[in-house]
Structures are given as structure tokens and as C-alpha cells.
Amino acid sequence: MNKQYDVLVIGAGNGGLASAAWMAKEGKKVLLLEKHNLPGGCAGSIVRGRFEFELTLHELCQMGPEGTGEVRKLLDDIGTDVEWVAMNEAFHTINTHPETGFDVEMPIGVDAFVDAMEREVPGSRASMENLMEVNRMIFDAISWLASYQNNPPKAAMLLKWKDFMKMASVPADEMLRRLGVPDKAREIYESYWDYLSVDCTRVSFVVYSFMVYTYLTLKPYIAKKRSFEIVLALEQRIRDFGGEIRYNTPVKRIDIRDNKARGVELADGTYIPCKRIISNIMPTVVFDKMVDPKEVPARDKKLCEARTLGPNGFVIYLGLDASADQLGIKGYDTFVRETADTEVLFEKCKTRKSHRRIFNYSCLNRAIPDASEPGTCMIMFLLLYTADAFDDVTEENYFKIKDQIVEETIDYFEEAAKVKIRDHIEELVTASPVTLARYIGTPQGNCYGYAVDMWDGMLPRTMSGEKEDYTVKGLRFCGGHGTQMDGYSQAYLSGREVARYTLKDMEEGR
């Protein structure tokens, strides 16, 4: 006789792990199905020689000390055992434009950030102080929304947070101009833009500034043993709560009949019945490949067609035979661009030909000095492509193209950062959009979910997530493509959010 489960979770990525852990914590019989032989999805590491490279994590947002940020609360509530490291820098940003360029290290802390901006852009203090006060209001408003699990009383929201609601539909770049932030200060402030996968003319000001303010007040955090430490901690808690996990178990089909989830069919033909399914696989893949076309709801079909896929990435991992101090590498997380115009940068990132001199890099040893052996360090370069830049790549030219990207990136890094690393490269590994497409199974190797837009950002998604997006009874979605948008922190929050919705669905019989 088949074992009965309250909920099936498909995919042990960050969102799936968080959902499964939360459901199991609440006493539900959970089965987590993962196609690979280990959990994590994009979260993990690879070992080459004497280096262990972090795959994707830069830093977590909404953390803070115990009991403060929403992500920290989530992970603490689940009971994860992770050693956290707080960062004391916001970012290092380099603009190599010959006339308007800059090289600035921005600190954590609102006052310290404003002081640093004033030193770099004299006369910016008043506008930056005003901006930070607006950011505080935004932070308070979003925290208030979270306290109602994104379903607040509408009248109270309109009365209490009317300024927040007015700003929600204004792009970040436009609002910064309205607030009188000087151009150079605005350009420095917008350095985080690719964390949200879209330029500042198309991302909501409240979403962008909430992220910046959260970093400044709660600090960015990383796990001492990197992202896989978080993965293993979540996996352990799922088991502790009585949940079951099956690896090497790909799901072939989600059985939907008469607009209700019925169960799943595995790749080996095994059928597992269950009326509640949480998918960490994005809706585009689910409804295109895993569901009978006749059962795809019209709203989901239209929504998948209306949305644009977020960026895909090309990652370069370098293990160097000299320390960061010896090489003169500054900062942990650095953005390098040839212009600070985020709209221009976004367009340039659409093709390999135009994508030049744009990337960010992280030196993990600046956050965790013993991340590699003494006298060594590691650098991870990330190049984001905002369209399918590898659509013309063939088997014959694939490796040549990868080598070319690596050479150009290292050349520009040495020029922009004024650091020579080429003669110190001991290990070099790359992951292209092709690599990501093969491993995580997303179209184009997409690693940012759905691209953010004014009509489809965090606020519209969270406000419609519980009811409007619930089109198949018993089927919900979590992960970086979900209501909270892309990123590790957002995937964890999406996992908890969808688990809460599913618990409510079960309680109300919907």
C-alpha cells in the first residue's frame, strides 16, 4: 500500500527546502522529491584542487541579529544550526567611464553610508538624509505588511501607508530624481540594480530602497561554511520533523484533473497520490512540460506568456595562489561597469557582443579569511545576460566562446581593479547558461525567475499570491520565481509563504 502524504514538494532548491521544513514543522506528512543526488539547486559548492568554490551565494538580505530580519526569523523558527558571518560593507563599486567614473567603497550603517556619499559627492547629504528617512518609512510599511502575511486590511493600508502606496508604482530611478539626489550619488546608490534582475527605470522604488535599507540596517550575512551549510541545516530539520526526502527521483508529470491536483508520476513510472503539491519548479516549465495541456488554466497560460524570463548567468571561479592582501583585492562584493546608466547596462547585457566590461565579483576571503588555505584566495565573477545570449552557440564553438568570455573578463578586471591576477591562477572553473540549464532545468539557464516589471514586481505578486494565483486546487509554487522575486532570501521567504498558504488551504478545504 502506498504511504499517504499531506503534501508533496517537488524540488529541493532553497524554496522547496524552506516549504518542506515549514510544513513538516507544522506536523504535516511531507515528501520532498529531488531529481539530483543532493539538495540545494543553485546552493552548493564545487571542489577543484585545494579550493572549494561557492556556487552562487553572494550574501543574504533581511537577516540581522537573532529575532530581527524576516529571513533570520524564518531560519531560527525552523531551528537551523548555522554559523553566521555579518558583513561590515555594503558594496564596492567601480565605474570606468573616462569622464564620470568612480571607485567607491560604501559602508554598512545609514549614517556611515550618508557620510561616505557626502565625501564622494559633496553637497549630497541633505538629499541622502531625506532619502534614508523615506527608506525607513518603506521598511516600516513592508514590515507591517509582513505582519499580516501580505493580506492586510485594505482601509488601514490606504490610510496608514498612503505615501508608501503612491511610491510603489514609481520606478527607482525616477523617484531618486524627484527627491533631488545628485546624479553621481544616484548612480552610486543604484549599484545594486542587478541584484533585482532589472534596471532602475523599471523596478519599483519601494522594492529597491527596501533592499538597500535592509542591507544598511540589518547588514548582509553569509554562512561561515557557505550556502551548503544552510542547505544541510534545512534538510536535517525536515528529517527531524518527520519529513521524508527522496533523491535521484525526478518527477515526470503532475497529475491535474478537473482543475485539482491529484498526485505525481515519477520518471520510473511510479505514481504517488497526493492532493497538495508545492512546486519549486517554475510555472513555465510545469505547465509546458509536466501537465496535460488540456488542464492548464487559462490564467496561468496567459501569465506565463506575458512574463519575461529573468537573467541567466555566466560564472567564473578562480583559485589564486596568493592572498587577497598580497594581490591588493579590495572589498568582498564589487560591481564593475563602464557606465553607471542602469538602463544602458541592461540593454548591453542582452547579447554576448554588447555585453562587455560589465560584471560583479566576490572575494570570499574578504568575508571569511580562512575560506581557502593561507596564502591563497578565491574570486567569483558573475556576468548576467538579460536575454538568451547563448541561443546561437553550437557544440563546435561552445568552448571557444567560454574561453573568450573568461579572457575578456580577466583583462577588464585587471584594468578596472588595478590588480594583476593572471599569473596567479591555480584553478579556473566556468559555469555558463548552458551549464545552468542542464543542472537546474530552467529555460535559457534562467537563475532569476521571472523578470521584474512594474506590473509584476514584489508587491503585485505578494498581494495576489494567496488567492488570484491559486488557479489549480492543491497546487502552489515557491522559489526565486515566486511572489518574493529572485534571490536566496526571497526563495526562503517564498517557501514559508507558500507553506502558510497551503496550511490555510488545508484548514479551509480550498
- The upper half-sphere exposure of residue 75, i.e. CA atoms within 13 Å in the direction of its Cβ, equals 33
pLDDT tier, 1 (very low <50, low <70, confident <90, very high otherwise): very low
pLDDT given for residue 468 in this prediction: 77
The closest alpha carbon to 250, from 470, 34, 441, 48, belongs to 34
pLDDT given for residue 2 in this prediction: 67
Whether pTM > 0.75 for this model: the answer is yes
β-strands 30-33, 7-10 pairing: parallel
Q: Taking 80 as the threshold, does the pLDDT of residue 477 lie above it? A: yes
Beta strands (DSSP E) in 401-445 are 425-431
Dig out the grid coordinates for 333 from the structure.
Answer: 562584493
pLDDT tier, 229 (very low <50, low <70, confident <90, very high otherwise): very high
Q: Which residues of 309-333 are buried (b: 16+ CB within 10 A; e: fewer)?
A: bbbbbbbbbbbbbbbbeebebbbbb
- Give the integer Cα–Cα distance in Å for 375 and 198: 38
**Average pLDDT for 192-196:** 88
Q: Taking 90 as the threshold, does the pLDDT of residue 313 lie above it? A: yes
**Average pLDDT for 487-506:** 95
Contact status, residue 55 vs residue 268, Cβ threshold 8 Å: no
Residue of higher predicted confidence among 482 and 96: 96
DSSP 187-213: HHHGGGGGGGTS-TTTSBHHHHHHHHH
Q: What is the pLDDT of residues 244-283, one digit of tens each?
A: 999 999 999 999 999 999 999 999 999 999 999 999 999 9
Q: Taking 50 as the threshold, does the pLDDT of residue 69 lie above it? A: yes
pLDDT given for residue 460 in this prediction: 83
Residue of higher predicted confidence among 57 and 240: 240
Options 1.10.3720.10, 3.40.50.2000, 2.40.30.10, 3.50.50.60; CATH of 7-45+59-82+224-308+450-508: 3.50.50.60
Q: What is the pLDDT of residues 204-223, one digit of tens each?
A: 999 999 999 999 999 999 99
pLDDT given for residue 509 in this prediction: 93
pLDDT given for residue 155 in this prediction: 86
Please state which CATH number belongs to domain 108-218: 1.10.405
- Give the integer Cα–Cα distance in Å for 345 and 350: 9
Q: Taking 90 as the threshold, does the pLDDT of residue 473 lie above it? A: yes
Q: What is the pLDDT of residues 128-145, one digit of tens each?
A: 999 999 999 999 999 998
Dig out the grid coordinates for 127 from the structure.
Answer: 538629499
CATH 1.10.405 residue spans of the chain: 108-218
Residue of higher predicted confidence among 344 and 467: 344
Q: Taking 60 as the threshold, does the pLDDT of residue 157 lie above it? A: yes
- Give the integer Cα–Cα distance in Å for 490 and 57: 13
CATH 3.50.50.60 residue spans of the chain: 7-45+59-82+224-308+450-508
Q: What is the pLDDT of residues 16-30, one digit of tens each?
A: 999 999 999 999 999
- Give the integer Cα–Cα distance in Å for 398 and 434: 9
DSSP class of residue 319 equals E
